């Protein structure tokens, strides 16, 4: 049962902000809410924090587009002929600065940053709330959530765009921020996650759906790993407690088993909270956006746009239980075992028969059709991901132990029913094993494209796909931002665009 509800209330009027080029929060308008009068008790602070979560939900991010963008670019999937042209641009790397989906992604993230900054920038006012109305522990906890979410949005931005405008919650800064170096953005992300790690509550004490201490520690470790600060990353991962692997791999992708022992950080969806605003805006995060389209878009029956690539399916070792936990094959049962998939069910609109279809995040396990709306949460970080990152840190850090690294990998392989790797592997062999395990363990989970970039293998892996090294690692800054932000010009555009 999902218990966490995003209470937006009157705050929505404050947060109808666009990206960096739009006005800052107009907090002196007598017809709008003011932080001086709004931040007076726990419910109001919580409501402001809740609003910052909401921008992860619309289809500009986890509601729909981020799945296509990342999985198409990694070529973990192939497209049905009916897939919309704007989604195909991510598979053939034909997108440019006029791409509407890229603009929506940018906009959704910056709206989320603005909402988080509304809380962070008013820390002094929140601190003045009497302790009998809001305890010091909860004040730090709510600020930790806001800083965790700001880090999340900036992480999504900096990995796709590189140098970006940086907002840090200082409302005295002029509108239209210039781009800041990627290193400055990463620095702020690390600072935010360090604070969140120290002040968020453990998963066992927190309401489902909220950021937790373990989520912040995992996220911080991931950011440090990307900076090749392996020892510091491993230290952050090692501070996590209370997590383990699900016995059944597929339990990670069903609605009834959300927030399980393997779940570290996931984006909430709950159809019972309403879906009436799901198409109203891809970016605002206002209204009833509690639906993701991942189920139908990646389906096997009904409408579908994508299916697993031949290369991905061929990457699974014989006997790997994750194969049947990730994909549907002809002859598989669904709808609680009451129906069986036939070969004809795998036909594209062109008549071609797909060999397999996606099973992750599908609702077919419990129903006969995949409705347009799905309430299955998006898993952003799972503990198996953490174990494989720990293996990488141990393998790469000075003085690291390859046998210890293999131990982390073997925990993931054991759940998959595979034989353990020998602990005598060399450093390069351990690295190859990590690349392999992350590809199959986290398939279709929006991690492989960035993995390939940071490992320096993206050009080889995506040879023949129109991917251009030195260009397509980043997206172009949207035309809309350059046209409306006086401090961002074509001179700031990313290489090749």
Higher model confidence: residue 33 or residue 157?
157
The model's confidence at residue 174, banded by pLDDT at 50, 70 and 90, is low
Decide if 302 contacts 248 (C-beta within 8 A). Answer: no
Measured from the Cβ of residue 42, the count of other Cβ atoms closer than 10 Å reads 14
The whole-number pLDDT of residue 169 equals: 67
Q: Of the candidates 158, 180, 155, 93, which has an alpha carbon nearest to the alpha carbon of residue 469?
A: 93
pLDDT above 50 for 68: yes
Q: Of the candidates 321, 481, 277, which has an alpha carbon nearest to the alpha carbon of residue 417?
A: 321
Q: Give how far the C-alpha of residue 443 lies from the chain's centroid of Cα atoms, to the nearest Å.
A: 14
Decide if 291 contacts 409 (C-beta within 8 A). Answer: no
pLDDT above 70 for 17: no
Residue 470's alpha-carbon distances to 203, 213, 453, 496, in angstroms, are 40, 36, 10, 8
Longest CA pairwise span in the chain (Å): 69
The whole-number pLDDT of residue 191 equals: 98
pLDDT above 90 for 7: no
pLDDT above 50 for 22: no
Decide if 220 contacts 200 (C-beta within 8 A). Answer: no
Measured from the Cβ of residue 150, the count of other Cβ atoms closer than 10 Å reads 27
Q: Of the candidates 184, 188, 367, which has an alpha carbon nearest to the alpha carbon of residue 271?
A: 367
pLDDT digits (tens, 9 = 90+) for 30-55: 445 566 678 999 999 999 999 999 99
Residue 240's alpha-carbon distances to 15, 198, 224, 363, 386, in angstroms, are 34, 12, 15, 31, 10
Mean pLDDT on 290-295: 91
The torsion of the CA quartet 228, 229, 234, 236, rounded to 10 degrees, works out to -120
Q: Is 71 exposed, middle or buried (0-12, 13-18, 19+ CB in 10 A)?
A: buried
pLDDT above 70 for 12: no
The whole-number pLDDT of residue 175 equals: 66
DSSP character string of 136-165:
HHHHHHHHHHHHHHHHHHHHHHHHHHSSEE
The whole-number pLDDT of residue 32 equals: 56
pLDDT digits (tens, 9 = 90+) for 401-450: 999 999 999 999 999 999 999 999 999 999 999 999 999 999 999 999 99
The whole-number pLDDT of residue 33 equals: 58
The whole-angstrom separation of Cα 162 and Cα 376 is: 31
Q: What's the mean pLDDT when you consider all of the chain?
A: 91
The whole-number pLDDT of residue 286 equals: 86
């Amino acid at each position: 049962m999902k218990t966490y509800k995003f209470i937006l209330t009157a705050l929505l009027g404050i947060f109808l902000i666009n990206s960096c080029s739009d006005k800052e929060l107009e907090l002196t308008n007598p017809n709008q809410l003011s932080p001086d009068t709004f931040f007076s008790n726990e419910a109001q602070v919580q409501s402001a924090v809740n609003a910052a979560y909401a921008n992860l939900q619309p289809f500009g991010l986890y509601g729909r587009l981020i799945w296509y963008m990342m999985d198409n670019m990694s070529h973990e999937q192939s497209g049905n002929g009916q897939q919309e042209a704007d989604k195909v641009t991510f598979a053939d790397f034909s997108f440019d600065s006029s791409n509407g989906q890229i603009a929506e992604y940018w906009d959704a993230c910056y709206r989320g940053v603005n909402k988080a900054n509304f809380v962070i920038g008013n820390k002094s006012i929140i601190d003045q709330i009497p302790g009998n109305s809001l305890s010091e522990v909860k004040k730090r906890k709510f600020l930790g959530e806001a800083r965790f979410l700001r880090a999340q949005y900036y992480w999504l931005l900096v990995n796709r765009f590189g140098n970006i405008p940086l907002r840090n919650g200082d409302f005295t800064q002029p509108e239209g921020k210039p781009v800041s170096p990627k290193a400055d953005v990463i620095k702020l992300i690390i600072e935010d996650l360090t604070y969140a790690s120290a002040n968020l509550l453990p998963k066992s004490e927190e309401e489902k759906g909220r950021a937790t201490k373990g989520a912040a520690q995992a996220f911080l470790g991931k950011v440090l790993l990307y900076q090749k600060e392996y020892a510091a990353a491993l230290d952050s991962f090692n501070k996590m407690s209370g997590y383990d692997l699900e016995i059944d791999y597929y339990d990670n992708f069903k609605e009834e088993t959300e927030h399980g022992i393997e779940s570290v950080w996931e984006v909430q969806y709950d159809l019972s909270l309403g879906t009436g605003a799901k198409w109203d805006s891809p970016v605002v995060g206002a209204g009833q956006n509690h639906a993701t389209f991942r189920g139908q878009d990646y389906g096997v029956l009904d409408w579908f746009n994508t299916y697993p690539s031949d290369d991905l399916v061929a990457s699974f070792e014989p006997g790997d239980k994750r194969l049947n936990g990730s994909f549907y094959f002809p002859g598989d049962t669904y709808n609680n075992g009451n129906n069986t998939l036939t070969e004809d069910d795998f036909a594209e609109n062109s008549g071609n028969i797909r060999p397999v279809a996606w099973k992750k995040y599908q609702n077919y396990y419990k129903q006969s059709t995949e409705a347009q709306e799905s309430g299955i949460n998006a898993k952003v970080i799972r503990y198996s991901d953490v174990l494989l990152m720990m293996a990488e840190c141990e393998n790469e850090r000075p003085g690291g132990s390859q046998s210890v690294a293999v131990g982390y990998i073997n925990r993931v392989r054991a759940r998959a029913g595979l034989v353990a790797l020998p602990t005598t592997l060399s450093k390069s062999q351990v690295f190859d094993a990590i690349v392999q395990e992350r590809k199959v363990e986290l398939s279709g989970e929006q991690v492989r494209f960035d993995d390939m970039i940071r490992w320096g293998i993206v050009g080889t892996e995506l040879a023949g796909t129109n991917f251009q090294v030195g260009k397509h690692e980043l997206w172009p800054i949207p035309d809309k931002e350059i046209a409306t932000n006086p401090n961002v010009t074509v001179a700031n555009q990313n290489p090749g665009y």
